[in-house]
């Protein structure tokens, strides 16, 4: 049976999850297509992790319907279905005293396998790190090990919860490349992120969530065209003060250029990334998903807020996704 005939890898219809009368997920519908990267995007507390936990059967929905790999979800997933799914929790941990290879062999044995399939080392750039202890790795390498742990049993569908959280820009972009490589191998990926730039760089389609409620859904290009607004001419003086001028047409750009200091020629347009010392700068910026979010909600994606309706649950411990990785301890594996 083809993937299309079996149905979408993940699907939710009118999904609701409430805690003490507050909606953590508020009438969310989504459909993830085979082989795509689909992103749930929003600030902390938007309901992204809760949605993943619902799709994995770790929490029970208040109402709505869910299907994963063609199977209805109403509680814990059966073992045969779990073997077709890989999960990377945001707070993934492995055993500090074990090497990368020892950790991944341990994860593989949970699925009755001797170790990860050989191609995974190269796909995730871990070949040269096999003999290094997990506890001594950088944050970026630890996230790659987590991704490898989610892939040891060669799953069809990956759930990645904030896969690049707390990574520096270089490590983040390296992990993006590895996610694209996994997609190139035919994997379907549903990820959560609070980074609009990450969603725009990776995802074929995104769902923007605010306090559990979907506010927009589609490809980044579609959402920017529909809700992003005009291009902006951003002027910054030597003191760092910004002025943003909407540019809705070539004529509007010409008028804005004429208002610039000097002769108004294109020589006055300088990138804000390389401003002249002590001078004013100007940048012509196309709208992005961040402008979409601002235009639809009136607020920036930050600052983080607590998960709606889950304050007491969250204070007692981490997300239920944490159950899918072992505890980390410097005393383990000695």
Residues 6+ apart with CB under 8 A from 191: 37, 38, 39, 40, 158, 159, 160, 161, 162, 163, 179, 202, 203
Of 65, 61, 56, 62, the C-alpha closest to 30 is 65
pLDDT beneath 70, residues of the chain: 1-6, 249-250, 252-280, 299-334
pLDDT at residue 136, as a whole number? 97
Are the C-beta atoms of residues 171 and 139 closer than 8 Å to each other?
yes
Helix, strand or coil, per DSSP, at residue 32: strand
Q: How far is 260 from 313, CA to CA, in rounded Å?
A: 55
- Domains in the chain and their CATH numbers? 3-225+303-324 (3.40.50.300), 230-286 (no CATH)
Q: What is the pLDDT of residue 246?
A: 78
**pTM, entire model:** 0.79
Q: Which helix (H) or strand (E) holds 68?
A: strand 63-68
pLDDT tens, 25-49? 999 999 999 999 999 999 888 999 9
> Which residues make Cβ contacts (< 8 Å) with residue 274, sequence separation at least 6?
none
Structure tokens at 100: 């990368």
Task: Identify which of 148, 139, 194 has the alpha carbon closest to the alpha carbon of residue 170.
Answer: 139
Contact indicator for 171, 138 with CB cutoff of 8 Å: yes
């Amino acid at each position: 049976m083809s993937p299309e005939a079996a149905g979408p890898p993940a699907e939710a219809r009118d999904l609701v999850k409430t805690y003490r009368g507050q909606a953590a997920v508020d009438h969310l519908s989504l459909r993830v297509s085979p082989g795509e990267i689909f992103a749930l995007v929003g600030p902390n507390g938007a309901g992204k992790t809760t949605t993943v936990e619902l799709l994995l059967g770790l929490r029970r929905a208040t109402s709505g319907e869910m299907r994963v790999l063609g199977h209805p979800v109403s509680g814990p997933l059966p073992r045969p279905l779990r073997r077709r799914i890989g999960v990377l929790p945001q707070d993934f941990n492995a055993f500090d005293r074990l090497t990368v290879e020892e950790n991944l062999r341990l994860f593989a044995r949970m699925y009755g396998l001797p170790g990860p399939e050989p191609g995974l080392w190269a796909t995730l750039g871990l070949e040269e790190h096999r003999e290094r202890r997990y506890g001594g790795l950088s944050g970026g390498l630890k996230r790659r090990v987590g991704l490898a742990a989610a892939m040891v049993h060669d799953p069809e569908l990956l759930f990645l919860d904030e896969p690049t959280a707390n990574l520096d820009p270089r490590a983040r972009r390296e992990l993006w490349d590895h996610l694209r490589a996994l997609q190139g191998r035919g994997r379907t990926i549903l990820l959560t992120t609070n980074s609009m730039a990450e969603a725009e760089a990776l995802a074929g389609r995104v769902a923007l969530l605010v306090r559990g409620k979907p506010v927009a859904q589609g490809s980044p290009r579609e959402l920017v065209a529909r809700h992003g607004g005009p291009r902006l001419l951003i002027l910054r003086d030597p003191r760092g003060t910004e002025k943003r001028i909407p540019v809705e047409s070539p004529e509007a750009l010409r008028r804005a250029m004429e208002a610039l200091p000097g002769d108004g020629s294109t020589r006055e347009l300088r990138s804000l990334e390389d401003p002249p010392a002590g001078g004013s700068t100007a940048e012509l910026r196309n709208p992005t998903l961040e402008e979409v979010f601002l235009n639809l909600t009136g607020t920036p994606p930050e600052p983080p807020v607590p998960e709606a309706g889950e304050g007491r649950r969250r204070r007692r411990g981490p997300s239920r996704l944490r159950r899918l990785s072992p505890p980390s301890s410097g005393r383990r594996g000695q």
